[in-house]
Amino acid sequence: MANANIMAGSNRLRHALKSLQDHWLATQETWNDSVRQRFEERHLRSLDSATDAAANGMSKFGEVVDRLRRDLADRSQQS
């Protein structure tokens, strides 16, 4: 299993994005003009794919960290 601390960070990132999206949706009731739409297009739309990419990278990094820990443990037991 990928490093628990790294996966916790990944989960926090996904939760933060969900919270941002919920809050952003709530602004639509009072702010729905071209500036809002432009901001969403320029800054928010790409966050889903960026967050997915970051979470995938964090997962892979966690796997590498776990593998290194196992390898180091194996080496210390052989000495």
Q: How far is it between the farthest Cα atoms of the chain?
A: 68
Q: Which residues span the domain enclosing 44?
A: 11-78
In a domain, 65, yes or no: yes
Predicted structure pTM score? 0.80
pLDDT in tens, 26-58: 999 999 999 999 999 999 999 999 999 999 999
Token pair, residue 20, equals 């941002």
Which tokens belong to 31? Answer: 């702010």
Q: Is residue 17 in some structural domain?
A: yes
Tell me the two tokens of residue 5. Answer: 């601390």
Going by pLDDT thresholds of 50, 70 and 90, the confidence category of residue 3 is confident
Give how many domains the chain has, as a whole number.
1
- Tokens standing for 10? 């990944």
